[in-house]
Amino acid sequence: MLCHKLRIGVLASGRGSNFQSIIDAIKSGKLDAEIALLITDNTSALAIDKAKKHAIEYLAIRPEECTTKDNYFEKIAEELKKRNVGLVVLAGFMRIVRKPLIDAFPNMIMNIHPALLPAFPGLHGQRQALEYGVRISGCTVHFVDEGMDTGPVIIQAAVPVFQDDTEESLADRILKLEHKIYPEAIKLFSEGRIEVEERKVRIKGFIPSDISIVNPPLRS
Ligand code: GRF
């Protein structure tokens, strides 16, 4: 068990709805943690507005200001370490995380992906699922390694894919579950209940029933 409140560093590039779901979980008392810092690579990210609204410190660190890609992630790691961050959360961060950050936070970086990994990694997971013609898709929270969406899986949740789905309708259905399982995964981490053995994650103690679900129910 951690004896102090978990300090979270969030990395986001865009609209920040997952960032918001973490803020909401903390505000409502569901998640006992604090967001120490938002880092973005995009000075017009909507996530910045959310940070401002909730008085969360934010930094825009532009890769162009750094000498190399590795140096970019060294800089990010440095800022997170300065603020005693214990968990790094990628929330729509559009870059592949490199070794300097991964080494600084071993098994302490999470990502959420809008598909059931290992299916449909990379960009446009929802579009890939539709194009492939799967009947079920969903979202995955996983630890980050140096690959593209390849790290150990923590929680997955599934949704049906309907024949008349568009990329947008499927993305909306998946996003609702993203907003549930991301705070849940962070909560498990904050309670010290996640163990990683090689590439498998073991969750200790009672497992909430909604971490592997098909939701919403199939249409009648
Ligand atoms: C989400 O679909 C997430 O799964 C993916 O990027 C999107 C970010 O959305 N990694 P938001 O910025 O959290 O709204």
pLDDT at 1: 54
Query: Residues 78, 61, 75, CA angle at the centre, nearest 5°?
Result: 20
Nearest partner of 46 among 5, 77, 16, 91, judged by Cα: 16
- Do 32 and 84 lie in a common domain? yes
Give the separation between CA 44 and CA 47, rounded to whole angstroms: 8
**Ligand 1 contacts CB of residue 18 (under 6 A):** yes
DSSP notation for 116-179: -TTSS-SS-HHHHHHHHT-SEEEEEEEE--SSSS-SPEEEEEEEE--TT--HHHHHHHHHHHHH
Phi, psi of 103 (to 5 degrees): -70, -30
Which stretches of the chain drop beneath a pLDDT of 50? 214-220
- Do 73 and 130 lie in a common domain? no
193 C-alpha to ligand 1 centroid (Å): 25
Q: For residue 147, is it within any domain? A: no
**Ligand 1 contacts CB of residue 14 (under 6 A):** yes
**Ligand 1 contacts CB of residue 91 (under 6 A):** yes
- Do 35 and 13 lie in a common domain? yes
Q: For residue 37, is it within any domain? A: yes
Atom of ligand 1 at shortest range from CA of 175: 2
Q: For residue 167, is it within any domain? A: yes
Q: Write the residue with the smallest CA distance to atom 5 of ligand 1.
A: 92
pLDDT at 214: 45
**Ligand 1 contacts CB of residue 92 (under 6 A):** yes
Type of residue numbered 199? R
CATH code: domain of residue 174: 3.40.50.170
Q: For residue 219, is it within any domain? A: no
Atom of ligand 1 at shortest range from CA of 16: 12
**Ligand 1 contacts CB of residue 149 (under 6 A):** no
Phi, psi of 44 (to 5 degrees): -105, 20
Please give the residue range of the domain that contains residue 159.
Answer: 112-142+155-214
Atom of ligand 1 at shortest range from CA of 174: 2
Tally of domains within the chain: 2
- Do 20 and 98 lie in a common domain? yes
**Ligand 1 contacts CB of residue 125 (under 6 A):** no
54 annotated active-site: no
- Do 117 and 98 lie in a common domain? no
- Do 93 and 166 lie in a common domain? no
- Do 121 and 205 lie in a common domain? yes
pLDDT at 218: 38
- Do 93 and 189 lie in a common domain? no
15 C-alpha to ligand 1 centroid (Å): 8
pLDDT at 3: 65
Q: Write the residue with the smallest CA distance to atom 10 of ligand 1.
A: 92
pLDDT at 216: 43
pLDDT at 209: 56
Q: For residue 101, is it within any domain? A: yes
